[in-house]
Amino acid sequence: MKVYVLNGPNLGRLGTRQIDVYGVTSYADLVELCESTGRELGISVTVRQTDAEHEMLGWLHAAADEAAAVVLNPAAWSHYSIAVRDACAMLRAPLVEVHISNIHTREEFRHHSVVSAVATGVICGLGVDGYRLALHHLATHRDQDG
């Protein structure tokens, strides 16, 4: 099973950005967490981060073409990017949307995600552990979901 873990804008700044909201785990630590979880579960995990929307769209298109599962933290794009939402709608394998913080307890503009409507499931507010949980879900349901 192939899984792309895709991260949107500003997530490369983990560990230094708003640690009261996002914690002290660095982006490198997040990558290691996802890769080691993948090895433990026997799935191929590729982790990527970009601040460029067009690059994210290309990665989502590639995942759709490969019928690969996706764990996506769309970050700020969650709240307004119809382009990211439409690319997610093209996916042919499960999509788990992940947010490190609980978007429902933050500023009102963060309460709605345009991506959630096309996601298989959403995990928010559990810190970076949400990524581990998403990968476990995908591995556990790989036969049923694709």
Active site (catalytic) residues: 22, 99
Ligand-binding site membership of 110 (annotated): yes
The answer to whether 73 is annotated as binding is yes
Q: Is 26 annotated as a binding residue?
A: no
Q: Is 112 annotated as a binding residue?
A: no
Contacts of 45 (CB under 8 A, 6+ apart): 3, 4, 5, 34, 35, 37, 38, 39, 135
Among the listed residues 141, 56, 40, the one whose alpha carbon sits nearest the alpha carbon of residue 91: 56
Give residue for tokens 């191929």: 44
> 99 and 78 in contact (C-beta within 8 Å)?
yes
- Going by the annotation, the residues of the binding site for substrate are 73, 79, 86, 100-101, 110
- Going by the annotation, the residues of the binding site are 73, 79, 86, 100-101, 110
